[in-house]
Structure 1
Amino acid sequence: MVPLQNAPSAPLPETLVDLLGLNADNPLHFFLAAIIASALVGTFMLTNTALVIWAKRKITAAFTDRIAINRVGPFGLLIIVADAVRLLSKELIVPEKVDRPAYDLAPLVLASSALLGFAVIPMGNGIQVADPETGLAYVFAVASIASIGLVMAGYASNNKYSFLGSLRAVAQNLAYEIPLVLTGASVVIFAGTLQMSEIVAAQTETLFSIGGLAIPSWYAFVNPFAFVLFMVANLAEVGRNPFDIPEAPTEIVAGYQTEYSSVYFVLLYLGEFIHVFLGGAIIATIFLGGPAGPVLPGIVWFVIKIWGVFLFTQWARSALPRVRIDQLIEIGWKGMLVLSLANLVLTAVLVGVVV
């Protein structure tokens, strides 16, 4: 491990202030640096999300022993451009009697809530827009705003399938957000802080060595039970099998997004995958040491880790059958909630005894 090399330093706006020769005491200059930093991080994540359009098909085809796209550009990579042109050039069809303000705002709410979450994620040495002391609480708070977007989209569409999708989304998010937060709280007990950079710094020590190989004190190794719980709850939060109940194509067409087309559909689609990456970024930060890793730059390790989580979600999507809505609720309230509470209590006891 090379923790000092990859440990996050000053937030990106402060670094840009120094690089651009701006005055940090000038609020306008600092605001400009914050806007540039947000644009850089947003562009980076949107680029990764665009690659998902290609990677999703390739990975799913590999899991199901099929041939994916291979004719649109080298290895089918230009499918990203083809899909963008195809979707954005389609007519925006708005059904009659929709609740127009909510219908228009829902895609923006869904996509922006995920992008806002990346503001406090340390992606590498100095690649972090902000580093508040309540960083983890902030991430959970802004990520939950997506639920409002799903409800707005389903309710405003004037479509029974969309409405069913939004109701399922509410039931699912309520059932799994609480275990997600409780499991995250167990990491806070270990780290003693909500600040994302400090959580990463707390994982830079060596847990133990095996044959000269140093095992880092990532919380995935310290508390693998919490790691598994968080991974399962994250599948529900990002709507991946076996918890893709809000969309369920074979049951309710496409759920909350049934009546959306053109650029609105693109925003919903992007928002969904940005949330997958946000879930991966949270897991990488609080369980896998964030950008820490040997030899390679921190940002490279960070990308490898979030793509690893994405690969897991795609495996789940291809391998696991969808559960029924009653089974989903039972798993959430009777299984995940109880297990996450038990994990939280046991973690508190363990830390209390050790300390």
Structure 2
Amino acid sequence: MLPLQSGKVLLPETIANLLGLSGTVGQIVGGLIGAFLIANLLLIQTAVAGPWAKRKITAAFTDRIAVNRVGPFGLLVIVADAVRLLSKELVVPEGVDRPAWDIGPLVIPFSALLGFAVIPMGNGIHLADPETGLAFAFAASSIASIGLVMMGYGSNNKYSLLGGLRAIAANLAYEIPLVITGASVVIFTGSLQMSHIVAEQANPLLTVAGVTIPQWFAFVNPFAFVLFVLANLAEVGRNPFDIPEAPTEIVAGYQTEYSSVYFVLIYLGEFIHIFLGGAIAATLFLGGPAGPFLPGFVWFIIKIWAFYLFTQWMRSAIPRLRVDQFLDVGWKGMLVLSFANLVLTAIIVGVIA
């Protein structure tokens, strides 16, 4: 493993030192507590993003009035929605494949939370830093595809099955360009390790009128950044790529047969995946937690919420594509452009080196 940049210590090690633990026991206890803290931080943000912020942002874009009656600024709608959804009856349709039907909704939020294990969120707020960190983040995010297949197949419903197939088609068409575009960053840095990728972007790119612009890869290769963000939109299911669960076309897709706590888990996973997509984009192209004046952790939160705001803007402003257009853009457009970007990046880096 490459050494951590600037002598930074991982969060589990910090927790273990604070508790006076060492060795394997310290690693296990520190890792469990650190994972618990990070997971709860993300769940709190998701609770704000789903029931409240999504409605407020969409209302602002569409010139409507959002939730404003339940608590100050409508914030208590978060509690009201939680009670309303969790208290609903869990209806189990006849003929479902129970193992697949039950496990599917759990896989989606779990895969997104797992991806955050290797994301550097600020000075010392980093659970793990393996040499294959970027590959791990992509692999963890992709586990959600298994959950979608399980939900679609296990529901014993043709509409759900079609929604699951659409979801897999979407992932195949856009995860490949997503990974290939991320690989162009790896060519610049020579490493898959997240801390190394962030450290490389701390170098100055140029100085204009006394202001130093950092070497964020969004500035170095803006074409790759745009490709990555667009592929990410498809990955998190936001317009114009909101195909797998297009409610007006396919009765909410793979989640048709779910209610109560399972319905909550599905939407919880959806919003955590949006934050994970923003976190990976920020790490690869926007310097990770880097930023002036404010602590790094604050900048990290600002960046993932900026990506969330962008997804909601696209959801309100852009109509979705037809499924044939969706696949054409992925296979004939994004895939070709991502490979072209990869080859061009390799040539430029080879010439400079």
TM-score tier by shorter-chain length is: over 0.9
Residue deviations 1:239-274 (CA, integer Å, cap 9, x gap):
001111000010011101111000001100100000
Aligned to 2:141: 143
In structure 2, distance between residues paired with 1:106 and 1:166: 11
Residue deviations 1:12-51 (CA, integer Å, cap 9, x gap):
101111111111x2x1232011000000100111111111
Aligned mate of 1:117, from 115, 118, 139:
115
Contact 1:8 1:125 in 2 (8 A): no
Aligned to 1:3: none
Q: How does 1:41-120 map to 2 (within 5 A)?
A: 41-52=38-49, 53-120=51-118
Aligned to 1:296: 294
Q: How does 1:122-133 map to 2 (within 5 A)?
A: 122-133=120-131
Please state how far the C-alpha of 1:118 moved relative to its aligned partner.
0.2
Contact 1:70 1:76 in 2 (8 A): yes
Letter of the 2:237 counterpart: G
Letter of the 2:135 counterpart: A
Q: TM-score, normalised by structure 1?
A: 0.97
Give SS of 2:289's match: coil
**Count of residues in correspondence between the two structures:** 348
Residue deviations 1:131-180 (CA, integer Å, cap 9, x gap):
00000000001100101101110111111111111000011100001000
RMSD (CA atoms): 1.1
Contact 1:89 1:262 in 2 (8 A): yes
Letter of the 1:11 counterpart: L
Letter of the 1:15 counterpart: T
Aligned to 2:12: 13
Letter of the 1:317 counterpart: R
Q: Which moved further from structure 2: 8-17 or 231-240?
A: 8-17
Q: How does 1:333-352 map to 2 (within 5 A)?
A: 333-352=331-350
Q: How many percent of aligned residue pairs carry the same amino acid?
A: 72
Q: Which has the higher contact order (CA 8 A, sep 6+)?
A: 1
Whether 2:171 is the aligned partner of 1:165: answer no
Contact 1:69 1:76 in 2 (8 A): yes
Give SS of 1:209's match: strand
Give SS of 1:193's match: coil
Letter of the 2:334 counterpart: M
Contact 2:13 2:26 in 1 (8 A): no
Please state how far the C-alpha of 1:220 moved relative to its aligned partner.
0.4
Give SS of 1:45's match: helix
Letter of the 2:67 counterpart: I
Contact 1:93 1:260 in 2 (8 A): yes
Q: How does 1:217-228 map to 2 (within 5 A)?
A: 217-228=215-226
Contact 1:12 1:127 in 2 (8 A): yes
Gaps of 5+ in 1: 1-5
Please state how far the C-alpha of 1:209 moved relative to its aligned partner.
1.6
Letter of the 2:336 counterpart: V
Letter of the 1:109 counterpart: V
